[in-house]
A and B are shown apart, each in its own frame.
Chain A
Amino acid sequence: MSNIPAELKYVSSHEWIRLEEDGTVTVGITDFAQDQLGDVVFVELPEAGTEVDAEQDIAVVESVKAASDIYAPLAGKIIAVNEDLADAPEKVNEDPYGDAWFFKMELANAADLDGLLDAAGYAAICE
């Protein structure tokens, strides 16, 4: 049974989104995703400053098992990436919702948040 925190939003490609107080969002991959992937060995992140569209593939997670593309959940601009993941990719397995955040974004349209899944909606997908 994977962990799906109630306060986060989700997309069907197994990323979580946390709305921060300043209107930016933090994005990572879910517990379900890291469990499916197995031991993560490399994480390739976009550069801060990159403009992205919703569903655009912008990062790669490479596990012992396979390489997986990670998609921008919403349109906007990448404002920060988690440099820690370069030296400690295993954090993705150990703390997917905390230490292993992937990137932070400024949204093109705040209203886009309404289209995201809530915890219950995401749980239904994982079944």
Chain B
Amino acid sequence: MGKQTPLYDNHLEAGGKIVDFGGWDMPIHYGSQIQEHKAVREAAGMFDVSHMTIVDVRGPDATAYLQKLLANDVSKLKEVGKALYTGMLNTNGGVIDDLIVYRMDGWYRTVVNCATREKDLEWMTAHTKGFDISLTERPELAMVAVQGPEAIGMVQKIRPEAADLIDGLKVFQGLPQHGWFYARTGYTGEDGLEIMIPESDVATFWSQLVEAGVQPCGLGARDTLRLEAGMNLYGNDMDEDTSPLAAGMGWTIAWEPAERNFIGRDALEAERAAGVTMKQVGLVLEGRGVMRAHQKVVIDGIGEGEVTSGTFSPTLQCSIAIARVPANTADTAQVDLRGKLTDVSVIALPFVRNGQKKF
């Protein structure tokens, strides 16, 4: 038996098929992951993401610390509540994890992955040396992501006291209220909220959303949704041996000001100077078959790459994949599907945003 979130009983009640995920007992689906995926694209679905790791950063040196720790620059966050997506790199420029950091009122909140929790905490703690700050993990906060065109309206219905606060949220901004934290962020490519909730309140909130018609969605749908949206999954699309420049994360690196010596900067500058050799692309297979992680990608006359994430896209009704390929790959390639080289199209991510095909 693994760790369980405060919503475990709710998952069983909804018919959740429980699997191990990074040491946690989580629902992979509640009957059909394709139906759950469609619910998010067409109406509203919700995910228990309480297994993720929340670390608050406080103290006089919080900004300076995060400016060193993260490849993106927190001093870009001009308003309380604004957030950014970033990689946390090692000295070789490899990605230790990807995360979101929110600027709070005089401090910061970071949300990192579940499977990387131990190594992230170790790394973050080791680098507090020389900074007057404290790191506080918040395991007592549960988290629910409600996503889809009707998601925000559903949450406002259940939490009318937060309706105005939610109305005022810009995309990638979050604000607190009465111990809860509402953020207009997500991992699906739809509008919606990720809400941090005291663990004693989350089961009731979840039940109320179910009653209002929001579809519980499991890890299976979470993966197909994020892949359609062109969003990376740590461990698949990048890891400690991958440069963010080869993982579609170039836009998350704040090179200016040039004096900001974030961890990994030197390695990335050297890579840029030498010429980045690989790039991240999307692949579309219009015929039959499903692309999967680790399948070989062959580009005639240019070289080889690898599928880093692959699946069947319920929105496009065909297989899609994220792949790392030679930088001069054009718009076609072949993927080795169970021994057979199969033609695919190469496109720039994302595949889908706000329910619409984007290529």
Cα A38 to Cα B338 in complex, Å, equals 20
Asked whether A62 and B290 contact (CB < 8 A) given A38-B220, A39-B34, A67-B338, the answer is yes
Residues in chain B near residue A93, CB distance under 8 A = 32
In the complex, the answer to whether B290 meets A42 with C-beta atoms within 8 Å is yes
B16-47 contact mask (Cβ, 8 Å, vs A): 1 or 0: 00000000000011001110000000000000
CA distance A64 to B32 in the complex (A): 10
Q: Does the CB pair B220–A42 fall under 8 Å?
A: no
CB distance from B305 to the nearest CB of A (A): 21
Q: Per-residue CB proximity of B109-143 to A under 8 Å, as 1/0?
A: 00000000000000000000000000000000000
**Does A118 belong to the interface (CB within 8 Å)?**
no
Q: Give 29 CB contacts A-B under 8 Å.
A: A38-B28, A38-B29, A38-B33, A38-B220, A39-B32, A39-B33, A39-B34, A39-B220, A41-B290, A42-B288, A42-B289, A42-B290, A44-B288, A62-B288, A62-B289, A62-B290, A62-B312, A64-B33, A64-B34, A64-B220, A64-B224, A64-B312, A65-B220, A66-B292, A67-B290, A67-B292, A67-B338, A90-B34, A93-B32
The listed residue (A64, A67, A90) touching B311 by CB distance below 8 A is A64
Residues in chain B near residue A64, CB distance under 8 A: 33-34, 220, 224, 290, 311-312
Contact surface of B with A, Cβ cutoff 8 Å = 28-29, 32-34, 220, 224, 288-290, 292, 311-312, 338
Residues of A within 8 A of B34 (CB): 39, 64, 90
Min distance, Cβ B29 to any Cβ of chain A, angstroms:
7
Given contacts A64-B224, A67-B290, contact A41 B312 (CB under 8 A): yes
Please list the residues of chain A having a beta carbon within 8 angstroms of any beta carbon in chain B. 38-39, 41-42, 44, 62, 64-67, 90, 93
What residues of chain A lie closer than 8 Å to B292, measured between beta carbons? 66-67
How many residue pairs, one in A and one in B, have C-beta atoms under 8 Å apart? 32
Residue with the greatest number of chain B CB neighbours at <10 A, chosen from A41, A42, A44, A66 = A41
Q: Which residue of A lies closest to B287 (CB)?
A: A42
A60 CB to nearest chain B CB (Å): 8
**Chain A: minimal CB distance from B17 (Å):** 8
Q: Distance (Å) between the CB of A89 and the closest chain B CB?
A: 10
The answer for the CA separation of A39 and B220 in the assembled complex, in Å, is 10
Known contacts A64-B33, A67-B338, then 14 further A-B pairs from the complex at CB < 8 Å, ordered by chain A residue:
A38-B28, A38-B29, A39-B34, A39-B220, A42-B289, A42-B290, A44-B288, A62-B312, A64-B34, A64-B220, A64-B290, A64-B312, A90-B34, A93-B32
Question: Inside 8 A of B33's CB, which chain A residues have their CB?
Answer: 38-39, 64
Complexed CA–CA distance, A58 and B311 (Å): 23
Q: Taking the nearest CB of chain B, how far is it from the CB of A87, in angstroms?
A: 11
A36 vs chain B, min Cβ distance (A): 10
Q: How far is the CB of B119 from chain A (nearest CB, A)?
A: 28
Q: Roughly how many angstroms separate A58 CA and B29 CA in the complex, as a whole number?
A: 29
Count chain A CB atoms within 10 A of each CB in B34, B224, B292 and give the residue with the most: B34
Interface centre among A39, A66, A67 (most CB of B within 10 A): A39
Complex Cα distance, B29 from A65, in Å, reads 12
Q: Which residue of B lies closest to A43 (CB)?
A: B288
Instruction: Give Cα A12–Cα B29 distance, bound, in whole angstroms.
Output: 26
Q: How far is the CA of A14 from the CA of B33 in the complex (A)?
A: 22
Q: Which residues of A contact B32 (CB under 8 A)?
A: 39, 93
Bound Cα distance A64, B288 (Å): 13
Q: Which residues of B contact A42 (CB under 8 A)?
A: 288-290
Q: How far is the CA of A79 from the CA of B289 in the complex (A)?
A: 25
Give the docked Cα–Cα distance between A68 and B97 (Å). Answer: 33
